[in-house]
Amino acid sequence: MRKLKLLFSGLLFASLLQAQESFPVNGVADKRDGCYAFTNATIVKDAQTTIANATLVIRDGKILALGAGVAIPKDATVVDCKNKYIYPSFIDIYSDYGITAAQRAQGGFNFGGPAQLTSNTKGAYGWNQAVHPEVDAVRQFVVDDSKAKGLRDLGFGTVLTHVKDGIARGTGAVVSLANEKENMVILKEKASAHYSLSKGTSSQTYPGSIMGSIALLRQTYLDAQWYKNKPAKEGVNLSLQAWNDNQTLPQFFEAEDKWNDVRADRIGDEFGVQYIIKGGGNEYQRVKEIAATKATYVIGLNFPQAMDVEDPNDARAVSLGDMKHWELAPSNPAALEKANIPFCLTVSDLRDQKSFMTNLRKSIDMGLTETKALEALTKTPATLLGVYDKVGSLETGKQANFIITSGPVFAATTNILHNWVSGKKYAIKEDAWSEVKGNYTLTINTVAGPIKYALDVKNASTANVIGKDTLTGRFTHDGKMVKLSFSPVAARRPQAPAGGEAPGAGGFGGGRGGFGGGAAATQYRLSGVSNGNYWSGTGEDTAGNKLTWSAKLDSVYLAANNDSTQRRRMGNQRLAKVSYPFDGYGWEEAPKQESILIKNATVWTNEKEGKLENTDVLLKDGKIAKVGKSISADGAKVIDGTGKHVTAGIIDEHSHIAAASINEGGQSVTSEVRIADNLNPEDINIYRQLSGGVTSSHILHGSANTIGGQTQLIKLRWGANDEDLKFKGSDGFIKFALGENVKRSTATQGNNRFPDTRMGVAEVLNDAFARAKDYEKAIKLDPKTRRDLELDALVEILNKKRFITCHSYVQSEITAALRVGDKYGFTFNTFTHILEGYKVADKMKVHGASASTFSDWYYYKVEVTDAIAYNAAIMQKVGLNVCINSDDAEMARRLNQEAGKIVRYGGVTEEEALKMVTLNPAKALHVDNKVGSIKVGKDADIVVWSDNPLSIYAKSEKTIVDGIVYWDREKDLEQRKKIQAERFRLTQKMIGEKRTGGPGAVRPAEPSWQILLSCGDHEHEDGLYTVEMHEGESKDK
C-alpha cells in the first residue's frame, strides 16, 4: 500500500530535475527532458480557437507543438486525452501569493491619542509611511506550496503577486505556481506597480481620509517629477527614486468601489497615467462612468451571501440597496462585458477560494460569455503584464502551463483533472481521469468457485451489485485504489436477529433496517487496484476465507456534454433594477428638465419686489423665464400655486453630506485636500434634504485642523454622478477652523500636535501664509521650485482665487484671524458657526466677512458658553451678510424653520429671515448671480411650499433644481410603495435561499449602517442604524 502511494506520487520527484544549473547535485545526475504528448484532446488554444482531436507536445517545460496530426516525438510519454479538454491555465492578476501579509504596527491612529506625525520606516526613504514604492514583491516572494495548491486546484498556473499594503505599494512579480525553487518560478521580476487609497498598516496619522490619500498621491507624483533633477535639498530619497523607476510598468490601482474607480482614474488622468483598476464588484451600478475611465478592470467574484431575514426586525435593518446588490452582484462581469470594458478576473477577494468556479458560473448564468470569462482569466491578464509570449494561451514556445479537464471548463459537472505548470504535472482530481461510471462484470473467486455479479458503478463512491437483487454496497474508487464490500443477499424485511448470525454481518446500508439470518450472513470485503477498465485484487468473506477478484468494464457511460445551453438561464427571472443612486429612493428613470408654470402663488422673490401675491413663475430650460401675473403656459406643465408659497431653493452654507470623507486631521495644515476628490452622490441625505427644500449645499471639510481642505459647492441633483453634482462655475472655497477642535481639546490621551492653544492657532495661520508668500516668490524666480499643493491653495487665497469659510466661535480667535488676514492682504470671506459673532460684528463688517451661524445652538462645549439665539439678528442689524446653516444632516431638512427662529429671536422681518437661508448664503458663496432669489435669468432652483416657508407647518411639495423636479411629495409616496414591494420580493427570495440552501447558506442579517460624516464638532442625533464617523475613523479596512 505504502509502496503504491509512492509510485503514484513519483512524478513529484521530477521537480528536482528542474533545479537550475548553478546548483550542485547530491547524487547521480538525473536530467530528463519531460517530453509528453497529450493525444486525442479537445485543445482550446485560446478563447477563440478550439482544435478537436488534437495533440499537445511539451518538452523542457515549454510547448513544442500542438494541433491535429502533430507528430509525436519518439521519446514522448503519451497521455491519452480522449474526451478530455486542454486549456491554457488561468492567471490571477491580483494575488499576494508567497507574500507574508503585513502586520499593522502597534499604535496607529487613535482619535483621543497622540498623533504620529512622521514615518516610522527607517532608512533613506520618503516622509510618509504609507508610500513605499521601493517595496519589490520579488524580494519578499517565497514559494508556498499549500497556497499554490489552492490556486492550482482552481486551474491557475500563474499569478501576479504584490504586497497589498499602503498607498504606494511597490512592484509586483509574475510567478508560476510550480512547487520549485523560487529562482525557477519567477516569470517577470518587476511586472507592475501598485497603488491604493488605503494606508494599510502605516501608523502615521496622515493621511486619515480618502481625500488625504488622493492628495498624497498627487503630491508624490509632483515630488517624483521634481526629484528627477536630483535637488540637493532632498538628498537621496529612495522612495521617490523607486516611484520614478516604477512608472514604466503597468500601473495598478486598488479602488475597490465604483466611485473609487472613478476617483483613481482622475488621479491618473492628471498625471498621464492609465491605471488598471481593481474594482469593488459594484461597477455594474455605474457602467457609464466606469466605461468613461477607459481603464481595464480587475474584478473579484466575492458576491455577498444571502442574509437571514426571517425575523422582520432583523430584516428591517438591511437596506434595499444591499439586498439588490446581493441579487445583482454576479451580473457585474456581464455588465462590464456588455459595455466593452476590458477586465480580468481574480480569486483574491473570495472568503472561500473554493467558491471561485461556482461564483463564476453564477456570473455566466447572468450573461457573462464563456469566451470572455476565459479571456479574463488568460489572455487579458497575460497581455496586461507583458507575458503573453509566455502564458495566457497554448502556442508553440510558450510555457507548458495548461489544465486538463473532463469537459468544457466552465460546465458545472466538469472536473479539472490535471494542472500542468511549466511542464510539470499537478494532479487535481486523478480519480476522475478515467470515467469510472459504467457496467462491470465482477468475478469473485471463492473457495466454491467463481461467482459473477453485475456491477453498476454510478460514480467514484456509489455502486450497485446486481445478483438476484440489486444490492448497494460500500464502494470507493479513487482513480487507483478500489474498495468494495457488499452482502450478496438483500435485506427485504426486518427479521428477528438470528442466533447464528456471524459477527460483522451488519454489512452495508448504514445500519438502516436490520437484516440477517440465513445466507445474508455472508459479506465480501474486497480491495484492489484499478487499471482503468480492469480492476483486480484480493478480499475476504465473513467466514474469513481469503479470495481474489476482478472486474471488467463492459460498457461505459459517456460524460454528458455540458453545453452551456443546457444550463438554467436566469434571463427569465425577475431581478432588481439598477437605480440611480443604487438606493431604495434612487431613480430607475431620472426626472427630466421641464418647462413649468407655477400659477397664482405667493412668491418670495428676495428682490426689491419683495413678496408678491397671486403671482406666476415660469421655469424654462432650467432657468427662471418669467415672473408676473397671468403668464401663459405655452406648453409648460402647470402647477396650481393657489395658497402655496414659492421661494428660491435653500442653500446650506455648511454641510457634510455627500462625501466619502470629511476630515483630514493628519496635520494642522491640509489645504491640499479637496472634498471634490471624494464626493459621494449616493448619500440618502441628498434626497432627504431635497424634501426640506434644499437645492444647494456647501460641503465643507471638517474642523480637525486649522487649515482644512478645499470645499465643494454642490447642487442636490439626486441620481447624478459625482462630477455632475458640482455647482458648475462656482468659486473655490477652503475650510479653516479655530479654537477647541484644532487644538484637539478632546484628545483624551493628550495632544502632541501644534497648536495646543489659540495663540498657536494664530501662529499656524501666520506661518502658513508666510510660507505661501515665500513660495509664490520662489516659483516666480525659479519655475523648477518644488510644486507644493498645500501652498498652491494658500497662494490662491492670497490672489483672491480661493475663499475662506472659517469655523470659529469666540471673539478673541475671530479678531486674531482678522488680523492675520489684514497682515497678508486677504479677507476671511465667511466665518461659520461664529456664535460670538455678535461680539465682534463691527470688526467683521469692516473686514468684509459674511457670517454663517446656527439659530439657537448653545452651551454644548466650553467655547459656546456665550452663544445666544439673538446672534444672527444682531449681526444682521449691524449690517453683516448673515446665513443660517445646518452642519447637521437632519436639521438641514428644516433650515426654513431655523430661519423662522430668527424672526422670534431678535425680530428680523420674515423676508430678511428667509434670505438667511437663500440669498445670503448665495452671496457668501459668490453664486448670487445664479441662485438665491426669484429673478428672471437665474437658475430654476425653486421650492413650492404648502404654507409660509418660515412656519413649522410648511412642507416642501416640490423642490426643483435646474428646472428638474427632484422632490415631489406625491411621487415620494409612490416610491415608498415600490420600496416596500421590492423589499418584500427580495426578503422572500433570501428566505428561500435559507430554506433550500442548506446549512451555512445565509449569514446573520447585517444592518446596513448609514454612515454620517461630521466635522466632529458637536453631537448629532444618531438614528438606530446611523453611525457617525470622524477623522481617522473608517468602516473600511
Partner 1 sequence: MKRLFYTISSLVLLCASAQAQESVYPAKEYKGKLYITNGTVHVGNGTVLENATVEVNNGKIVKVGTGIAVPADDVKVFDAKGKHVYPGLILPNSDLGLTEIGAGVRASNDVSEIGDFNTNVRSITAYNADSRVINVLKGNGILLTSVAPEGGIISGSSSVVQLDAWNWEDAAYKMDAGIHLTMPSFIQRFGRRGGGFPGGFPGFGGAPVDPAKQALDRVEAIKNFFREAKAYLQESSHANTNLKLEAVKGLFDKKQKLFVHGDQVKQMLIAVDFVKEFGFEVVIVGGSESYHIADLLKANNIAVILGESHALPATEDDDIDQPYKTPAALQKAGVLFALNDNSANTRYRNLSYNAGTAVTYGLTKEQALSAITLNAAKILGVDDRTGSLEVGKDANIVVSEGDILDMKSSTIIMAFIQGRKVSLENKQTQLYDRYKSKYGIK
Contacting partner 1 within 175-194 (CB under 8 A): none
| Contacts with partner 1, 907-936, as mask; x by CB under 8 A | ---x--x-----------------------
Residue 952 within binding range of partner 1, rule CB under 8 A: yes
Dihedral sign of CA atoms 539, 545, 546, 548 in order: negative
Contact residue for partner 1 among 396, 972, 995, 997 (CB under 8 A): 972
Which CB atom, from 145 or from 911, has the smaller least distance to partner 1? Answer: 911
- How far apart CA 881 and CA 899 sit, in angstroms, is 14
- Residue 293 or 871 with smaller CB distance to partner 1: 871
Q: Can you list the alpha helix ranges (DSSP code H) found in 677-736?
A: 684-690, 722-725
Window 382-411: residues binding partner 1 (CB under 8 A): none
- Selected range binding partner 1 among 118-126, 638-646, 706-714, 952-960, rule: CB under 8 A: 952-960
155 or 906, CB closer to partner 1? Answer: 906
CB of 167 to partner 1, least distance (A): 16
Place of cell 497554448: 394
For the CB of residue 485, give the shortest distance to partner 1 in the complex, in Å.
43
Q: How far is the CB of 746 from partner 1 (least distance, A)?
A: 5
d(CA 409, CA 934): 65
* Nearest-approach distance from CB 1026 to partner 1, in angstroms: 6
The torsion region of residue 621 among left (phi > 0), alpha (psi -120 to 50) and beta comes to left
Show contacts with partner 1 in window 995-1024 (CB under 8 A). 1003-1004, 1006-1010, 1012, 1018-1019, 1021-1024
Is residue 897 within the footprint of partner 1 (CB under 8 A)? Answer: yes
CB of 837 to partner 1, least distance (A): 10
Distance CA(654)–CA(664), nearest Å, equals 17
Minimum Å gap between C-beta 836 and partner 1 is 9
Residue 996 cell numbers, joined: 433550500
**930 is written with which cell numbers?**
445664479
Looking at the Cβ atoms of 407 and 581, the one nearer to partner 1 is: 581
Q: Which residue of 801, 976, 984, 995 would you call a contact of partner 1, by CB under 8 A?
A: 976
Could you say whether residue 433 binds partner 1 (CB under 8 A)? no
Beta strand spans in 122-228 (E): 156-161, 168-176, 186-196
The single residue among 597, 874, 916, 961 that binds partner 1, judged by CB under 8 A, is 874
Nearest distance from C-beta of residue 880 to partner 1, angstroms: 11
Site string for partner 1, 828-857 (x = CB under 8 A): ----------xx-xx-----------x-xx
Stretch that binds partner 1, among 77-85, 136-144, 221-229, 872-880 (CB under 8 A): 872-880
* 166 is a site residue for partner 1 (CB under 8 A): no
Out of 222, 631, 979, 1001, name the contact with partner 1 by CB under 8 A.
979
Q: What is the CA radius of gyration of the chain?
A: 36
The C-alpha atoms of residue 483 and residue 823 are separated, in whole angstroms, by 93
Q: How far is the CB of 309 from partner 1 (least distance, A)?
A: 13
- Give the one residue of 369, 691, 812, 815 binding partner 1; rule: CB under 8 A: 691
Residues from 308 through 337 that contact partner 1 (CB under 8 A): 313, 316-317, 319-321
Region of residue 920 (phi > 0: left; psi between -120 and 50: alpha; otherwise: beta): alpha
Binders of partner 1 in range 579-608 (CB under 8 A): 583-585
**Which residues between 699 and 758 bind partner 1 (CB under 8 A)?**
740, 745-746
We find the least distance from the C-beta atom of residue 567 to partner 1, in angstroms, to be: 31
Q: How far is CA 586 from the centre of its chain?
A: 20
When the beta carbons of 522 and 695 are compared against partner 1, the nearer one is 695
Q: How far apart are CA 290 and CA 274, in angstroms?
A: 13
Report the distance separating Cα 855 and Cα 308, nearest Å: 45
Give me the least distance between CB of 884 and partner 1, in Å please: 12
Residue 653 φ/ψ, nearest 5 degrees:
-75, -20
Question: Smallest distance from the beta carbon of 794 to partner 1, in angstroms?
Answer: 30
How far, in Å, CA of 275 to CA of 252, rounded?
A: 5
Q: Assess contact for 463 and 454: CB atoms under 8 A.
A: no
State the Cα torsion 807-810-813-816 to the nearest 10°.
110
CB 506 within 8 A of CB 552: no
**Subset of 102-141 contacting partner 1 (CB under 8 A):** 111
Measured from the CB atom, the residue of 53 and 748 that comes closer to partner 1 is 748
Contact 226, 784 (CB under 8 A): yes
Tell me the window of 327-335, 560-568, 606-614, 874-882 that interacts with partner 1 (CB under 8 A).
874-882
Q: How many CB atoms lie within 10 A of CB 774?
A: 11
Residue 34 interacts with partner 1 (CB under 8 A): yes or no: no
Q: Which amino acid is present at 920? A: N
Cα separation, 691 vs 716, whole angstroms: 11
**C-alpha to C-alpha distance for 273 and 264, rounded to whole angstroms:** 10
CA distance 913 to 897: 10
Find all residues with CB under 8 Å of 609, minimum gap 6, and list them: 627
CB of residue 352 to partner 1, shortest distance in Å: 13
502 or 868: CB nearest partner 1: 868
Interaction residues for partner 1, span 274-313 (CB under 8 A): 313
Per the listing, cell 494658500 goes with 794
How far apart are CB 843 and partner 1 at their closest, in Å?
Answer: 12
Binding residues among 670-689 for partner 1 as defined by CB under 8 A: 684-685, 687-688
As measured in angstroms, the least distance from the Cβ of 208 to partner 1 is 14
Nearer Cβ to partner 1 (87/838): 838
Residues 473-512 close enough to bind partner 1 by CB under 8 A: none
Q: What angle do CA 289, 292, 298 make, to 5 degrees?
A: 85
What span, in angstroms and rounded, lies between the C-alpha atoms of 895 and 943?
A: 13
CA separation, residue 1010 to residues 222, 578, 738, 1026 (Å)? 36, 20, 29, 5
Residue 690 grid cell: 431635497
For the packed helices 370-377 and 356-365, what is the interaxial angle rounded to 10 degrees?
140
Q: Using alpha carbons only, give the angle 225, 228, 232 rounded to the nearest 5 degrees.
A: 115
> Which of the 8 DSSP states describes residue 468?
S
Q: Which stretch binds partner 1 (CB under 8 A): 115-123, 622-630, 698-706, 975-983?
A: 975-983
Instruction: Please give the grid coordinates belonging to residue 274.
Output: 492609465
Segment 52 to 111, residues that bind partner 1, using CB under 8 A: 111
Applying CB under 8 A, what is the total number of residues that bind partner 1? 86
CB of 279 to partner 1, least distance (A): 16
| Binding residue (CB under 8 A) for partner 1 from 199, 743, 901, 930 | 901
448: CB partners within 8 A, 6+ apart: none
Among positions 865, 988, 992, 997, the unique one binding partner 1 when judged by CB under 8 A: 865
Nearest to 460 by CA among 440, 426, 487, 435: 435
Contacting residue, 247, 870, 994, 1001, with partner 1 by CB under 8 A: 870
C-alpha–C-alpha distance, residues 280 and 722, integer Å: 17
Q: How far is the CB of 947 from partner 1 (least distance, A)?
A: 9
Around 124, how many Cα atoms within 13 Å sit in the side-chain half-sphere?
8
* Cβ 285 to partner 1 shortest distance, Å: 15
Q: From the list 236, 862, 936, 981, which residue makes contact with partner 1 (rule: CB under 8 A)? A: 862
Give the nearer residue to partner 1 in terms of CB position, either 283 or 740.
740
By beta-carbon proximity to partner 1, the closer residue of 736 and 854 is 854
